[in-house]
Amino acid sequence: MKHNIPIDRWDRASAFRHFIRYSDPYFGVCTELDFTAAYARAKDLKVSFFLYYFYLSLAAANGIPEFRIRLEKDTPVIYDRVHGSPTLLRNDGGLGFAMLEYRDSFGDFLKDAGPEMARVKAQTGLDASKDCPDTIYYSILPWIRFTSVSHPLDLPRSEGVPILSFGKLCEEHGRRVMPVGVHAHHALMDGMHIGRFLEDFQARLNASSV
């Protein structure tokens, strides 16, 4: 479910009116996070490490209202919850777009995620029919320890969907680290909100349970 945001009563109304006029209002940051505990926890649970950290990132994003705000014809709306759409490598070597719905429990998330990933990997073409605004786009680059990243954007028709990027998992001084990129629409959030997301995501990665 979504709700309209009354701009005149919105605490970031002035920032919204300023940045919504930009031809390219997206901004991005890249950093490295510690995945050591999350990697070990996924192995203990005998679950996919990718789906484990994917769920934790999606849970962190859902906890921050700004990550759930989207645009409808330049009007802001906020969703009760958002889902995740990662790029996957299909069995034929091409790219596919999956839609992994956010659930309140990791177990319920896993039940739906496995079949959806299998469906997309078996495709023979790029299908974006499940694309919707109440999602977060995920760009998965497991071959690259990137320090910066950019994305193709359909401007000016953007719905303000944030993009999360994950790179190569590397071992360093007994730790497992991975680059993480966050791109967002500046009319809908600021660097402070990305900082809050990264802080909460790292706390979830460090936790002993989902």
Eight-class DSSP state of 121: H
Which residues in the chain land under pLDDT 50?
Answer: none
| Per-residue tokens: 192 | 């402070």
Q: For position 55, what pLDDT does the model report?
A: 98
Residue 85 CA, chain-centre distance (Å), reads 8
The verdict on whether omega for the bond into residue 156 sits within 30 degrees of 0, i.e. cis, is: yes
Report how far residue 88's alpha carbon sits from residue 202's, in angstroms, rounded to the nearest whole number.
24
Residue 128 sits at the vertex; the CA angle it makes with 190 and 163, to the nearest 5 degrees, is 20
Q: What is the pLDDT of residues 61-91, one digit of tens each?
A: 999 999 999 999 889 999 999 999 999 999 9
Q: For position 208, what pLDDT does the model report?
A: 76
Q: What is the pTM of this model?
A: 0.96
What's 27-206's CATH class?
Answer: alpha beta
| Per-residue tokens: 30 | 């890249």
Q: For position 159, what pLDDT does the model report?
A: 94
Q: For position 156, what pLDDT does the model report?
A: 80
Report how far residue 60's alpha carbon sits from residue 33's, in angstroms, rounded to the nearest whole number.
14
Q: For position 66, what pLDDT does the model report?
A: 98
